[in-house]
Structure 1
Amino acid sequence: MHSSLKKIGNSAGILIPKPMLAEIGAKAGDSIDLTVENGRIIMQLAVNAPRAGWAEASRQLAAEGDDGLVWPEFANDDDAELKW
């Protein structure tokens, strides 16, 4: 498929047919990541939820009793000697 770049302010845009977007699971309004590799522009869906699944994993750790502190809490015994 051939297309042309359209001037949009100081940038450029391209119209991408809906069936082509559907092939990567994208639709108008989705966030995408753009990279350049070997002279080609690569477009892929952006990961919008970097912490997806953390809440469930935390609940599972708690259920298994594996949610204790890894680092102990530090005492304040020597704080009086600190100079501010």
Structure 2
Amino acid sequence: MGNSTGLIVPRALLGEIGLSVGAVMDLQVKDGKLVASPVVSPARAGWANAAEAVAEDTQEAAAWRAFPNEDDSALTW
């Protein structure tokens, strides 16, 4: 981005810390050394936004309502 450069890390080193190609890393300078740490996102990150998108009343959602399951009438919501 902007005035940045890339860093090539051997795949074997990534594997040693449980990462794969394309993993997001946090870079910091500590005591004159460049320290790279994996960025770990919280479990279920983004699920709330995805659920909101699914719940939106779209034309596609309306079409799916035309295909009920056999026992839908017995369900209590």
TM class by smaller structure: 0.3 to 0.5
TM-score when normalising by structure 1: 0.44
| TM-score (ref. length: structure 2) | 0.48
Structure number with higher strand proportion: 1
Rg larger in structure: 1
